[in-house]
Amino acid sequence: MNKRSRFQNYFPILYYLGEFFVILFSTEIMLYWTFTSWSGLNYIFISFWFLVSILFRSHVLGRGIKNRKLVKSTFESLFFFSGSVAILNMLFFNMLFQLLTIAIAVALFYFLMLTYRLFVNFVLGRYRAFGGNILNCMIVGVNSHGLDLYNEILKYPELGYRANGIFGFKKRPAKKSLDFPFLGKLMNLSEDIYKRYDVVFFSEKLPIDIQSYILSKAEKYNLKANVIPELVDHDFNNFFISKIESVPYININKLPLDGIFNQFLKRSFDIVFALLINIFFISWMIPIFGLLIKISSKGPVFFIQNREGYKGSYFKCYKFRTMVVNSEADLKWADDNDKRLTRIGKFLRLTAMDEMPQFINVLFGDMSVVGPRPHPINLNKEYESKLIGFNKRHRFKPGITGLAQTKGYSGYISELRDMSDRIKMDIFYFKNWSIVLDFKIVLMTILKMITNLNLESRI
């Protein structure tokens, strides 16, 4: 796991933990001043605060978030929270306190929460300025757009963007006009160059065919693609999506899971759900199924195979072994009637219980509970050149189950259309992701497993 992904995984947890301690400390001070004891209401109010914070998105501390905007959003959520608590108290609880005591407690809460958020925003800025949580930017376009963005990135290192120069596309600029590092013509460079970057910015001034070329490469290598638009008086009109200081850009392939809060939400669900499955199911499945697998044929309990995951990285995927040990495991695509299947293996495969050890992969961070199924590497190599947009499915972590599987697009691939339909479902899932959709897919998967189990018991 790289440095950036560790930051994305752990920072939200640490941030919310810090905010929890701030509100806990404020609550304790208020209880002390009002001579009251801790009760269940305090838990309700603390949970309500986090709900309000999420509703107003005042918890968002992204790149380029100005302190003025942070103060405004924090005060909006604080005022709404305080007003709501006051109304609920008058309607249902009727707790009486001295006005001075309430004023001091509220002022303390406001001060601590605002100070904490400003401090975290400041620390993030310093951390990025010194090289942490950075995004390596590929800037394409030797024109005012590219040059302005490059200069802004140099000017504001605390935003966490880094660029080592500008790429051209056709002719090399004259030496006397080179007041920036020219990195060469993109067409003449190895495609490995794209693997060094996290995001690509290109100018709207570039010809359409060149923009299409850059976008195709961004999709192939799972880079976030942004076009810098030609806007009139953009400093006075907020009709662009985002900007780096004074340079606006439009993100043209942003997905719900690009948001750090959504990533945190999904990862939290993965950890909690995987822990429960490992404790209550995997703990007894491994010894029981392991014994049956050993009795059925010689070989290991687990089938461990390299699969392609997040942004094309490889990881070791765990499954219960369902076949006799053979030399074609990485070459031949299996179906439910494969002669290599053992008796217990066929049962595990038909009920999809052979995939259960992948909840260990979820805890390791290689997989998610819900997402595109990870294919064997050879299968991916075969289809990535045949299907446009195939590599889009690797933009995020693969899953144990997915939308494609619940809709019947799983199992043996007999023709190109089978894989094409599966890819369409995977891309649709990413474009329409929500935590509710994940819950729905998990529920549909469980129902499908129960149905398969009933059918298998009748055979």
Q: How many domains does the chain have?
A: 3
Distance CA 419, CA 412 (A): 10
Query: What phi and psi values does residue 412 have, to the nearest 5 degrees?
Result: -65, 135
Instruction: Please give the pLDDT value at position 90.
Output: 67
Instruction: Please give the pLDDT value at position 171.
Output: 66
Residues 8, 77 within the same domain = yes
Which residues make Cβ contacts (< 8 Å) with residue 301, sequence separation at least 6? 286, 289, 290, 293, 294, 320, 321
**At which of 254, 284, 300 does a domain end?**
254
pTM value? 0.65
Residues 226, 155 within the same domain = yes
Q: What is the CATH number of the domain that holds 218?
A: 3.40.50.720
Instruction: Please give the pLDDT value at position 22.
Output: 86
Q: Alpha helix (H) ranges present in 327-372?
A: 343-350, 358-364
Residues 348, 425 within the same domain = yes
DSSP 8-class letter at 206:
S
Residues 315, 418 within the same domain = yes
**At which of 114, 129, 144 does a domain end?**
129
Contact between 116 and 22 (Cβ < 8 Å):
yes
Instruction: Find the domain containing 58 and state its range.
Output: 3-129
Distance CA 237, CA 219 (A): 30
Residues 305, 408 within the same domain = yes
The encoded tokens of residue 369 equal: 């509970």
Instruction: Please give the pLDDT value at position 240.
Output: 47
Q: Which tens digits make up the pLDDT trace of 46-58?
A: 888 878 777 766 6
Residues 349, 294 within the same domain = yes
Residues 428, 287 within the same domain = yes
Residues 236, 272 within the same domain = no
Distance CA 208, CA 454 (A): 55
Distance of CA 273 to the CA centre of its chain: 17
**SS3 of residue 255 by DSSP:** coil
**SS3 of residue 280 by DSSP:** helix
Instruction: Please give the pLDDT value at position 229.
Output: 81
Residues 241, 279 within the same domain = no
Distance CA 420, CA 414 (A): 11
Query: What phi and psi values does residue 199 have, to the nearest 5 degrees?
Result: -150, 145
DSSP 8-class letter at 353:
G
Q: Are strands 224-228 and 399-401 parallel, antiparallel or unpaired?
A: unpaired
CA geometry: angle 328, 332, 334, nearest 5 deg: 110
Residues 248, 265 within the same domain = no
For 3, other C-beta atoms within 10 Å of its C-beta total 11
Residues 306, 454 within the same domain = yes
Which residues make Cβ contacts (< 8 Å) with residue 393, sequence separation at least 6? 372, 423, 426, 427, 430
**At which of 254, 273, 298 does a domain end?**
254
Instruction: Please give the pLDDT value at position 302.
Output: 94
pLDDT in tens, the chain (459 residues): 344 456 766 777 788 888 888 888 888 877 777 677 777 777 777 888 878 777 766 666 667 677 777 887 788 778 777 777 777 666 666 666 556 666 777 788 888 888 988 888 888 888 888 888 888 999 998 888 888 899 999 988 888 899 999 998 776 666 656 678 888 888 888 888 888 999 999 988 888 988 888 998 888 888 889 888 876 544 444 444 677 777 777 777 778 888 888 888 899 899 999 999 999 999 999 999 999 999 999 999 999 999 999 888 899 999 999 989 887 766 666 666 778 888 898 888 888 899 999 999 999 999 999 999 998 888 888 888 888 878 888 889 999 999 998 888 876 667 788 888 888 899 999 988 988 899 999 999 988 888 766 655 545
Instruction: Please give the pLDDT value at position 337.
Output: 74
Residues 186, 202 within the same domain = yes
Distance CA 165, CA 121 (A): 28
